[in-house]
Amino acid sequence: MNRRTVSVLFVCTGNICRSPMAQGVAEIMAAKLNKSMMFDSAGTGDWHAGEAPDPRAVEAAARRGYDIADQRARALSDEDFARFDHIIGMDAGHKRWLVTARDVRRLEERPVSMLMDWSVGLAGKGVPDPYYSDDAAFEHALDLIEKGVDGLLRRV
């Protein structure tokens, strides 16, 4: 039987911290579990389009074995709602923005959730934005992202 590849899009504000880290974590974890899945990430805006992830995100991810250095930021497009099976925001603001964008633009119905909704015991929680904080905030964000991605991969 040929299984269909499940596709997941992670979304944060600028696509330079949380969503690229989530994409990198998901790619490695899915490969280790031999899951046929495709991952990408995007931002709610295009402020950083074409830029590499924040160097602090790259370093934090690398310390845990995730290489996100070659990713490039992009803004969410209307076509993403047709391309991806799951669209996952990093916090409640992203989820609201995604649902509103989907509904107002009358885009393809796709499940929109928050990453931590997939984790055990942390549903409804957001992954805090580490951008305006220190290295410890990037580590904390990665801790949560790993938990959320683990739950996602167990349930999809």
Catalytic residue among 12, 54, 91, 102: 12
Q: How far is CA 97 from the centre of its chain?
A: 15
- In the structure, what pLDDT confidence band is assigned to residue 108 with cuts at 50, 70 and 90? confident
Span 88-105, average pLDDT: 96
Q: Is 12 a catalytic residue?
A: yes
pLDDT tens digits, 34-75: 999 999 999 999 999 999 999 999 999 999 999 999 999 999
Listed residue (3, 5, 40, 11) closest to 115, CA to CA: 11
Catalytic residue among 17, 117, 129, 154: 129
Span 90-105, average pLDDT: 95
CA gap 117, 107 in Å, rounded: 23
Look at residue 3 in the predicted model and tell me its pLDDT: 62
Look at residue 4 in the predicted model and tell me its pLDDT: 76
- Angle of helix 55-63 relative to helix 135-155, nearest 10 degrees, comes to 60
Over 90: is that where the pLDDT of 2 sits? no
Look at residue 109 in the predicted model and tell me its pLDDT: 85
Full-model pTM: 0.96
CB burial of 68-77 (b: ≥16 within 10 Å; e: otherwise) equals beebebbbbe
Taking 3-state DSSP, the helix, strand and coil percentages for the chain, each rounded to the nearest 5, stand at: 40, 15, 45
Structure tokens at 20: 């690229």
Catalytic residue among 17, 18, 80, 91: 18
